[in-house]
Copies of this chain bind each other. A is one copy, B any other.
Amino acid sequence: MKRSDRLVSLTNYFLENPREHTSLPYFSDKYGAAKSSVSEDLDIIDRIMQEEGIGRLQTLPGASGGVSFIPGFSTEKQNKFIDELCTTLQDPSRILPGGYLYMSDILGNPNMVKEIGRILASAFSDLEIDVIMTVATKGIPLAYAAASVLNVPVIIVRRDPRVTEGSSVSINYVSGSSRKIQTMVLPTRSLQDNANVCIIDDFMKAGGTINGMISLLNEFNANVQAIGVLAEADDEEDERVVEDYTSLVKITNVDMKQKTIKVQPGNIAEIS
């Protein structure tokens, strides 16, 4: 196979298999090309990926050596995306009764979801993460988007047990803002002991739901490595029960009377 053909095939391979370690001989065999030629291919791909801000190739030398694609998101692309998201969210027609914000169109757009997942995954790129956990329903697409970048499975916590999932562990927790007691369920089979878990959700007010997930994870002796949310509501900051989290945007003010919303970048901008 010629270099030009290999470059198309390899680019596709890496984008399809993020964070997967592949040995150089595998590619030499597959393409019938010398190892040195493959190395040059990889240099080209690495350079373009970095230039376009989509990630980089990580090469490990030696006998057990090989290469893996580490997806990334350049700070520039990230800031631009978050700024646009803030503008989109400030549209007054999003205001719903109770000061909630309509976000289903954003969460229903696969391209937006993919980008949000990538930004969160990039932020947690250096952490040891075995599995991503979310709670039904709205966090699910974001969890899969991040999981597909980190190349780890997703587990979904539900508010009601389902017959199709076998035995489960359930806990009761207090919802942060409404102070109501609620239930959360995770199938026993879905998580191994001592797993390293990243929690992803769409929205955090006081953080009661996420706190519930942490309590549930304690039952599985899991380690919470990271918490990522698309949006946090600023007005509940005093009552917040979750400390260490990463947010893309912060909704600082929803004025029902004036019909205005203020949205600013979340703490991810400070972290990265």
Name, among A102, A141, A145, A155, the residue most crowded by chain B CB atoms within 10 Å (CB to CB).
A141
Q: Are B164 and A110 in contact (CB-based, < 8 A)?
A: no
Whether the Cβ atoms of B153 and A110 lie closer than 8 Å is: yes
Given known contacts A137-B140, A163-B98, A155 and B108 CB-to-CB distance under 8 angstroms: yes
Q: Which residues of chain A (11-39) have a CB below 8 Å from chain B?
A: 11-12, 15
A9 with B52: in contact, given A4-B4, A104-B187 (CB under 8 Å)? Answer: yes
For residue A62, CB closer than 8 A to chain B, the reply is no
A194 at the interface (CB under 8 A from B): no
Q: Nearest B residue to A159 by beta-carbon distance?
A: B160
Would B110 and A8 count as touching, CB distance under 8 A?
no
**A44/B164 in contact, CB under 8 A:** no
Copies of this subunit: 2
Interface size class of A (residues with CB under 8 A): 35 or more
Q: Measured between alpha carbons, how far is A86 from B200 in the docked complex, in Å?
A: 31
A45 within 8 A of B: yes
Whole-angstrom distance between the alpha carbons of A189 and B104 in the complex?
9
**Interface residues as binary, A130-167 with B (CB distance below 8 Å gives 1, 0 otherwise):** 00000011101100110110011111101000011110
Residues of B within 8 A of A222 (CB): none
Is A48 located at the chain interface by the 8 A CB criterion?
Answer: yes
A7 adjacent to chain B (CB < 8 Å): yes
CB within 8 Å for A49 and B141 given contacts A102-B189, A153-B105, A164-B102: no
Contact check, A8 vs B48: say whether CB atoms are below 8 A apart: yes
**Is A96 in the interface zone, CB < 8 Å from B?**
yes
A54 partner residues in chain B, CB cutoff 8 A:
12
Which A residues are within 8 Å of any B CB, using their own CB? 3-5, 7-9, 11-12, 15, 44-45, 47-49, 52, 54, 96-98, 100-105, 108-111, 113-114, 136-138, 140-141, 144-145, 147-148, 151-156, 158, 163-166, 187, 189-190, 203
